[in-house]
């Protein structure tokens, strides 16, 4: 376990040395501040459009950071020829995968803390309220969804040849799930066989990361808290998908030549 955490620490250090997060964070702040400065009928209590925009930017930024950071982990080790020395140490391939995953996931967690603190401050500046539990629910499910995306990208980095192709495929897949994942069953009902079964199979197979994504509406429009039972179930659901992708990644990596 210590080895996994040591490897994760290296990944986190790599993230704060790179400029991706700073650029995206500052860009989010600048866009939100500009939008907040717009005068809307001399009413300075209007906030929901800002909350929606800010949450959307947080989701986009966090996905960009998660996918781009994860996609280059193993290919970079291979390109720099550090993979073989790394595995020569008392480190198994499974530990390497888990360490890389944990590092990326924890790094995304740190990123989310910064983003959600900014979001809370922005909302509080207009609403004068701190619905901390709602924000916590949104952030924790967001982090879990990113965990699934990171695990999926890690698997992709072992399957696809280049980080760029892996990133593109992951972005397209995640964007599709976020936009239409919830409605695939409704679409399937309108189709004939065999397309109907194919779409249904896809619907049940994909990780429904759009559930935390659509939760934004509850935060934006100040809906009451979601039952903790449902939050717990969704976390278990997303953890299961993380496990599936990680096991698949470990299996693929075991057969992969190091050089």
Return residues touching other proteins (CB under 8 A): 38, 40-43, 45-49, 182-183, 185-187, 189, 203-204, 208, 210-212, 214-215, 217-218, 220-224, 226-227, 230, 233-234
Assign 235 to helix, strand or coil.
Answer: helix
Q: Considering beta carbons, is residue 90 or 227 the nearer one to other proteins? A: 227
Q: Least Å distance between CB 151 and other proteins?
A: 20
Closest CA to 64 of 29, 118, 107: 107
Q: How far is the CB of 113 from other proteins (least distance, A)?
A: 22
Q: How near is the Cβ of 214 to other proteins at its closest, in Å?
A: 5
CA–CA separation, 27 vs 33, rounded Å?
A: 10
Choice between 138 and 250, CB closer to other proteins:
138
* C-beta closer to other proteins: residue 38 or 88: 38
Which has the closest alpha carbon to 149: 22, 234, 62?
62
In whole angstroms, how far apart are CA 127 and each of 46, 133, 136? 8, 16, 18
As measured in angstroms, the least distance from the Cβ of 176 to other proteins is: 15
Nearer to other proteins, 20 or 52 (CB): 52
CB atoms within 10 A of CB 91: 15
The nearer residue to other proteins, 23 or 33, going by C-beta atoms, is 33
CB atoms within 10 A of CB 226: 16
Q: Given the complex with other proteins, which of 163 and 212 has the nearer CB atom?
A: 212
Compute the least distance from the CB of residue 218 to other proteins, in Å.
Answer: 7
For residue 194, say if its preceding peptide bond is cis, omega within 30 degrees of 0: yes
**Minimum distance of other proteins from residue 223's CB (angstroms):** 5
- What is the distance, to the nearest Å, from the Cα of residue 191 to the centroid of all Cα atoms in its chain? 31
Give the integer Cα–Cα distance in Å for 70 and 49: 32
Dist. CA 81–CA 152, nearest whole Å: 24
8 Å CB contact between 155 and 168:
no
Q: Which of 214, 204, 101, 100 is nearest to 147 (CA)?
A: 101
Give the separation between CA 206 and CA 243, rounded to whole angstroms.
Answer: 14
Give how far the C-alpha of residue 169 lies from the chain's centroid of Cα atoms, to the nearest Å.
Answer: 15
Nearer to other proteins, 160 or 203 (CB): 203
Least Å distance between CB 34 and other proteins?
14
């Amino acid at each position: 376990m210590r080895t996994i955490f040591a490897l994760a620490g290296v990944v986190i250090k790599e993230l704060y040395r790179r400029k991706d997060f700073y650029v995206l964070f500052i860009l989010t702040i600048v866009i939100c501040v500009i939008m907040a400065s717009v005068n809307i009928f001399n009413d300075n209590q209007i906030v929901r459009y800002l909350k929606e925009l800010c949450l959307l930017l947080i989701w986009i930024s966090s996905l960009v950071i998660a996918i781009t950071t994860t996609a280059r982990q193993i290919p970079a080790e291979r390109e720099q020829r550090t993979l073989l020395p790394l595995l020569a140490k008392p480190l198994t391939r499974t530990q390497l995968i888990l360490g890389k995953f944990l590092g990326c996931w924890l790094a995304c967690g740190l990123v989310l803390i910064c983003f959600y603190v900014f979001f809370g401050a922005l909302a509080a500046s207009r609403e004068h309220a701190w619905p901390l539990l709602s924000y916590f629910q949104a952030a924790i499910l967001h982090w879990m969804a990113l965990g699934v995306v990171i695990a999926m990208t890690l698997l992709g980095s072992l399957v696809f040849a280049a980080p760029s192709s892996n990133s593109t495929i992951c972005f397209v897949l995640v964007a599709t799930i976020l936009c239409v994942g919830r409605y695939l069953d409704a679409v399937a009902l309108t189709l004939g066989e065999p397309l109907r079964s194919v779409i249904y199979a896809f619907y049940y197979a994909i990780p429904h990361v759009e559930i935390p994504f659509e939760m934004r509406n509850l935060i934006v429009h100040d809906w009451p808290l979601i039952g903790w039972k449902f939050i717990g179930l969704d976390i278990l659901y997303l953890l299961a998908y993380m496990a599936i992708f990680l096991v698949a990644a470990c299996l693929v990596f075991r057969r992969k030549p190091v050089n």
